[in-house]
Amino acid sequence: MLIDNHNRKINYLRLAVTDRCNLRCNYCMPEAGINFAENNKLLSIEELITVSENLVELGIDKIRITGGEPFVRKDLMVLMRKLAGIKALKDISVTTNATLIGNHIDELKALGITNINLSLDAIDKETFEKITRRSQYEIVHRNLLRLIDEDFNIRINFVVLDGQNTQDILPILELTKHHNVSVRFLEEMPFNGGSRTFNTIKWDYKYILEYIQTKYPDITLIPSEKTSTSINYKIKNHVGSFGLIPSFSRTFCGSCNRLRISATGDVITCLYGKPVANIREVLRAHQAKENLRDEIQKAISTRAANGFEAQQQNRGVFDNSMTSIGG
Ligand code: SAM
Ligand code: SF4
């Protein structure tokens, strides 16, 4: 079992499979992209499988595949098939921009991988294209509707961006009226590859909630797991639900059960901290399994208590982009 130095059980791995992406969301990275890792620095699919299998043996029972955009990786489904076969893994999920998922929907469903977090920061086409700096609106909407039709468990991630998409907050909630989806509003964090720095945000989770209540005063809190990062609500007579993720306010750190491994093998024990180890060379050397397990155990024995403490220890943190951290 993986227990950190604050007595928190770590059972959730967020595994990034690439730092590349076919979109350029302006809150995530600069228009020109970032310095993407060289190919030989990315963990191979076999290495990602070794990491997953070993971490599951150490007590991980939930893996989220993320990136960059996971589906830009041509061999992604090889990993997904393997994960689907790991019995002790209770929950496999993917975070995606949904541009490239179309060809894989049938197989994902057959594998039982139906938990999809789909990033969609606008309901309006022009706003979507302004934010993502690409023309992929139609395909994303088509894939979203297909995933809903196919009974996937869909959570829409909507990063609330002051001056860009707040006019779409209420319209996107309309989706929850007839569809069993959860729309989760994320506070913006300054992990955008250095394009913009900020120390405060107007649209924090409390402000977003107050805004939603101007139209929907009749909402009820849905009880959530202790380790949940979202505070979830139901609007009266809506089939779906919505959630608020205080990713900037960091109210959920006390019960954090997450470990991140980046596409290049960085081990990140807090989103706001710097990598505490890199397992790439460990995986490529002799006794990979034993040394990998040691590295992971060591990493979680020095975790910061919360994101504020981690940020203090990591002055350059906001030069990072979410595409390389993995979200
Ligand atoms: N490309 C995939 C996607 O967009 O869903 C997966 C990777 S993306 C880095 C993971 C999540 O991080 C997405 O939901 C995205 O909206 C979120 N994200 C990226 N940059 C962010 C930022 N600066 N603040 C808050 N959330 C951010
Ligand atoms: Fe790509 Fe996801 Fe970052 Fe958007 S948020 S640029 S889709 S990695």
* Ligand 1 atom having least distance to the Cα of 189: 24
Q: Is residue 1 one of the residues assigned to a domain?
A: no
pLDDT above 70 covers a percentage of the chain that reads 100
CA of 286 to the centre of ligand 1 (A): 35
Q: Worst-scoring range by mean pLDDT, 94-98, 166-170, 286-290?
A: 286-290
Q: Is residue 268 one of the residues assigned to a domain?
A: yes
| Average pLDDT score over residue span 71-97 | 97
- Provide the pLDDT for residue 318: 74
* Ligand 2 atom having least distance to the Cα of 323: 8
pTM, two decimals, is 0.96
The set of residues, in sequence order, having a beta carbon less than 8 Å from that of 129 and lying 6+ positions away, is 135, 136, 137
Q: Is residue 111 one of the residues assigned to a domain?
A: yes
Q: Is residue 7 one of the residues assigned to a domain?
A: no
Give the model's confidence band at 94: pLDDT under 50 very low, under 70 low, under 90 confident, else very high: very high
CA of 290 to the centre of ligand 1 (A): 33
Q: What CATH code is carried by the domain that includes residue 207?
A: 3.20.20.70
Rounded CA-CA distance 262/66 in Å is 9
pLDDT at 107 over 80: yes
CA of 288 to the centre of ligand 1 (A): 31
SS3 200: coil
Q: Is residue 75 one of the residues assigned to a domain?
A: yes
Give the model's confidence band at 104: pLDDT under 50 very low, under 70 low, under 90 confident, else very high: very high
- Provide the pLDDT for residue 262: 97
Give the model's confidence band at 75: pLDDT under 50 very low, under 70 low, under 90 confident, else very high: very high
Determine if ligand 1 sits within 6 Å of the CB of residue 95. yes
- Provide the pLDDT for residue 232: 97
> Residues 139-154: pLDDT tens digits?
999 999 999 999 999 9
SS3 124: coil
Give the model's confidence band at 326: pLDDT under 50 very low, under 70 low, under 90 confident, else very high: confident
Q: Is residue 5 one of the residues assigned to a domain?
A: no
pLDDT at 317 over 80: no
> Residues 157-173: pLDDT tens digits?
999 999 999 999 999 99
- Provide the pLDDT for residue 315: 75
Q: Which of 14, 101, 119, 203 to mutate to test the pocket of ligand 1 (most atoms within 8 A of CB)?
A: 119
* Residue 125 lies in domain: 12-325
Nearest ligand, measured from the Cα of 69: 1
CA of 250 to the centre of ligand 1 (A): 16
* Ligand 1 atom having least distance to the Cα of 69: 1
pLDDT at 323 over 90: no
pLDDT at 90 over 80: yes
> Residues 290-304: pLDDT tens digits?
999 999 999 999 999
Range 58-67 burial, b when 16+ CB lie within 10 A, else e: bebebbbbbb
Q: Considering only CA atoms, which residue is closest to atom 20 of ligand 1?
A: 28
Q: Is residue 2 one of the residues assigned to a domain?
A: no
pLDDT at 327 over 90: no
> Residues 210-226: pLDDT tens digits?
999 999 999 999 999 98
Average pLDDT value over all residues in the chain: 95
Q: How many CA atoms lie within 13 A of 50 on its CB side?
A: 19
Q: Considering only CA atoms, which residue is closest to atom 8 of ligand 2?
A: 68
> Residues 19-71: pLDDT tens digits?
999 999 999 999 999 999 999 999 999 999 999 999 999 999 999 999 999 99
Our count of domains for the chain comes to 1
pLDDT at 134 over 90: yes
pLDDT above 90 covers a percentage of the chain that reads 87
CA of 284 to the centre of ligand 2 (A): 29
- Provide the pLDDT for residue 239: 98
From the list 146, 172, 163, the residue with the least C-alpha distance to 243 is 172
Q: Is residue 169 one of the residues assigned to a domain?
A: yes
* Ligand 2 atom having least distance to the Cα of 97: 7
Between strands 219-222 and 153-160, the pairing is: unpaired
* Ligand 1 atom having least distance to the Cα of 117: 5
- Provide the pLDDT for residue 280: 97
Rounding to the nearest 10 degrees, give the CA dihedral for residues 160, 164, 170, 173: -60
Give the model's confidence band at 194: pLDDT under 50 very low, under 70 low, under 90 confident, else very high: confident
CA of 68 to the centre of ligand 1 (A): 8
> Residues 229-267: pLDDT tens digits?
999 999 999 999 999 999 999 988 889 999 999 999 999
